[in-house]
Amino acid sequence: MLDILFWSLLGFFLGSIPFSLLIGKFVARRDIRTVGDGNPGGANAIKAGGLKAGIPAILLDMAKGFLPVYLAQGVGLTAWNLVPVAISPVLGHAFSPFLRFRGGKALAATGGVWVALIGPSAFPIYGALALPFTLLQTEDAWSACVGMLALLGYAFLAGDPWLLTFAALNTSVIFWTHRRDLIRRPHLRNWVTDLLLRRNA
């Protein structure tokens, strides 16, 4: 029990460190919350300082999700014992006490956790729904959340109740962090609209 508590607290602490915001200040010399949608995450680090700021920001945000879960598994935590450890960096990122509990959207931290749990296959699983949805419509928040449904589906098919429980919790957090953007309904991209109009002509 103490092991679970330790790794969960470490995960929350690491998750709460606003690496993207820090990278933005040191590399781009600006507060990334003043660009884009105001989110202190990797996407706005790219907008504020280009790939020079964005790539290290995203990698560090992923690392803070990956490390506590990977290390916890290394000391023998498995299955249900991993659920609080896995969700802790996601919660830390989303509700960072360093940012007055107004953290980021937790996608990069989520990616790191899933890589620690199931390996690099997490990316194509997520992208299997997120990428087509991105190509078809313009709202990034909807693509992000649809990608989480792909991971949720994977956990269901895997048949591990603990993984499904984590996936459900993780998906709920991502929907919450994107809630304001999800108010906007998806709009088809111009090429899709043009294609549909030509077919109906």
How do the domains of the chain map onto residue ranges? 2-190
- pLDDT digits over 115-172, tens only? 999 999 999 999 999 999 999 988 889 999 999 999 999 999 999 999 999 999 999 9
pTM, full prediction = 0.91
Tell me which of 31 and 88 has the higher pLDDT.
88
Which residue's entry shows tokens 């993984």?
Answer: 163
